[in-house]
Every structure is written in structure tokens, then in C-alpha cells.
């Protein structure tokens, strides 16, 4: 048993989709969340910048006494984590759990990956899937407009449907039966994506896959918490105001108190 909190971070508030899943499968865990709202988006930035930011985010979470960290951000998991050395506090990303879930789900070995430009350019999901299923046929598509559509409340709008139809043409042409929603925001687009691809295509929610993976790790390492009333703390790097509505959209519940942190002052780990 280990009652220390789980640390979760993201480029912004999208990672709350993963927190929602962690609360579902690990209801006795304390969680400390950091969203880098002052520097979001990461998805279109250079690898150097994403790595630098991720190191600071991790360093901030390590200032608490935590037992494990989840990088809920698809971009950080793909671009930065492979470049960050392991140390005492394990940092888990969403790529490996999502690849495992996709390989389990596919029947025709045709898998598609959707993500930010940084995620798709890194080929991280492809590499991980190929390790598990070398003969998998993978279609990778950057969907840069999805994040903005979600953040502006267009998750189920007709305009989003039209854009999704455009982005997903290749997925349909290549016959993928499984699609990794490789970004924090894309679970919000499940309805629209399913409408375009049809109900028979399995959609892999990376936050959900990562939450199950965390549970497995903590269970195996005998580190599950037994807290009856766990607490959740949320930190952002921009001024606190105006984030409640966006946070509610991702977390599907009230956030409670948000605290601010000046992430530029945090030294890289």
C-alpha cells in the first residue's frame, strides 16, 4: 500500500480527460494535476521546446511527494518522454498503453493514429505498435484543428463533422478497424468520429488506456492507495480565471479550487 498521490500533467486542461478515467478505475487515489495553460499548445512546437517544457512540468510535480507521474499529453508522451532519463519517480506516458490496447482490439491488423503534428511527426505510436505487431498496417494523421474545435465548444458541431470527414478519408480508404485517439482532446470527438467511421471501428481513448495501465503498475508494485476520501489538487501556469468552464468540459465535474504556479521559475529536472 502507498497513499502518496499520483501526479498527472498536460500542456493544458485536456489532460483532465485522463484524470476522469483515473478517478473511475482508481477511486482511492489522491491526484495532483498540472496543466501548462500559459504555454499551451505544445502540439505545433519544436521537439526542443516540448522537451524543455516537459522537464519543467515533471520537475514541478516532483516537488510534491508523489509515487508516479502520468504524462497525459499525447505530444509530450511521443516527443519528450523518450528523451527524458528515468529516475526514482517513474514517468509513464500514453503511447505504450494505447498501443497495447489497439493491438488487442484490431482484428484486421489495420490501425490508424490521430494526433497533433508533433505526435504524428515523431512516429512514436507507430514504433510502439510495430514492436507489438510487426505486420500491422498503420495510417497516421495529424489533425491540428481538432484541439481548437473542442476548446471552442464545437465537439459535436456540423463543422467538426465536415473537418473530421476530410481528416479521416485515408483511415476509411486504408480500412483501419481500430483508431487511436492519440491526443487529450479527441475523446470529446468520439461521437463525430464514430459517425464518420461507423460504429464498427474501435476507438482507443488514450486516457482510459493509460488509467488502466497505471492501475496495473500500482497493483503489481503493491502501491495502490486505500484512501476513503481522496483529494484532488489542480494547478495551472496561467492566471486562474476563466478555466472553470473548459475544465468542466473535460472532467465532467466541478474542479474545485485551482491554484496558479509560475512554471518559468521551475528549473528543468
List residues with catalytic annotation.
73, 183
- Please say which residue, 185 or 223, places its beta carbon nearer to ligand DGL: 185
Rounded distance, CA 73 to CA 240, Å?
20
**Sign of the C-alpha dihedral computed for residues 56, 38, 188 and 113 taken in this order:** negative
Least separation in angstroms between residue 37's CB and ligand DGL is 10
Least separation in angstroms between residue 72's CB and ligand DGL is 7
Strands (E), the chain: 6-10, 31-35, 68-71, 90-92, 110-115, 137-142, 178-181, 202-205, 232-236, 258-260
Least separation in angstroms between residue 144's CB and ligand DGL is 8
Least separation in angstroms between residue 7's CB and ligand DGL is 16
- Please say which residue, 117 or 240, places its beta carbon nearer to ligand DGL: 117
- Please say which residue, 12 or 97, places its beta carbon nearer to ligand DGL: 12
Rounded distance, CA 75 to CA 160, Å?
22
- Please say which residue, 16 or 224, places its beta carbon nearer to ligand DGL: 16
Query: Which ranges constitute the DSSP H helices of 63-189?
Result: 74-75, 95-105, 117-122, 124-132, 144-151, 158-167, 169-173
> How is residue 106 written as a grid cell?
484490431
Between helices 16-25 and 206-220, what is the axis angle to 10°? 40
Q: Which residues of 29-42 are buried (b: 16+ CB within 10 A; e: fewer)?
A: bbbbbbbbbebbbb
Least separation in angstroms between residue 50's CB and ligand DGL is 9
- Please say which residue, 113 or 183, places its beta carbon nearer to ligand DGL: 183
Residue closest to ligand DGL when measured from CB atoms: 43
> How is residue 145 written as a grid cell?
484543428
Interface ranges with ligand DGL (CB under 6 A): 10-12, 14, 40-43, 73-75, 116, 119, 147, 183-185
Least separation in angstroms between residue 228's CB and ligand DGL is 32
- Please say which residue, 79 or 176, places its beta carbon nearer to ligand DGL: 79
- The contacts of residue 158 (CB under 8 Å, 6+ apart) are none
Rounded distance, CA 123 to CA 210, Å?
19
Amino acid at each position: 500500500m502507498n497513499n502518496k498521490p499520483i501526479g498527472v500533467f498536460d500542456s493544458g486542461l485536456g489532460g483532465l480527460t485522463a484524470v476522469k478515467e483515473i478517478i473511475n478505475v482508481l477511486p482511492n487515489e489522491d491526484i495532483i494535476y498540472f496543466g501548462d495553460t500559459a504555454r499551451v499548445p505544445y502540439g505545433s512546437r519544436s521537439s526542443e521546446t516540448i522537451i524543455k517544457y516537459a522537464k519543467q512540468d515533471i520537475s514541478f510535480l516532483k516537488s510534491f511527494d508523489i509515487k508516479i507521474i502520468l504524462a497525459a499529453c499525447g505530444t509530450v508522451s511521443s516527443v519528450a518522454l523518450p528523451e527524458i532519463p528515468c529516475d526514482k519517480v517513474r514517468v509513464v506516458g500514453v503511447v505504450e498503453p494505447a498501443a497495447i490496447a489497439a493491438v488487442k482490439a484490431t482484428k484486421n491488423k489495420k490501425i490508424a493514429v490521430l494526433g497533433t503534428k508533433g505526435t504524428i511527426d515523431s512516429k512514436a505510436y507507430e514504433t510502439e505498435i510495430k514492436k507489438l505487431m510487426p505486420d500491422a498496417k498503420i495510417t497516421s494523421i495529424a489533425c491540428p484543428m481538432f484541439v481548437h474545435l473542442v476548446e471552442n465548444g464545437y465537439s459535436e458541431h456540423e463543422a467538426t463533422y465536415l473537418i473530421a470527414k476530410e481528416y479521416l478519408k485515408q483511415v476509411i480508404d486504408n480500412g483501419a478497424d481500430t483508431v487511436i485517439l492519440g491526443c487529450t482532446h479527441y475523446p470529446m470527438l468520439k461521437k463525430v468520429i464514430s459517425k464518420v467511421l461507423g460504429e464498427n471501428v474501435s476507438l482507443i481513448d488514450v486516457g482510459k488506456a493509460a488509467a488502466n495501465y497505471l492501475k496495473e503498475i500500482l497493483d503489481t508494485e503493491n502501491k495502490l492507495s486505500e484512501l476513503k476520501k481522496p483529494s484532488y489538487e489542480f494547478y495551472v501556469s496561467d492566471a486562474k480565471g476563466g478555466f472553470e468552464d473548459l475544465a468542466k468540459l473535460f472532467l465532467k465535474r466541478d474542479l474545485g479550487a485551482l491554484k496558479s504556479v509560475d512554471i518559468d521559475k521551475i528549473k528543468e529536472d
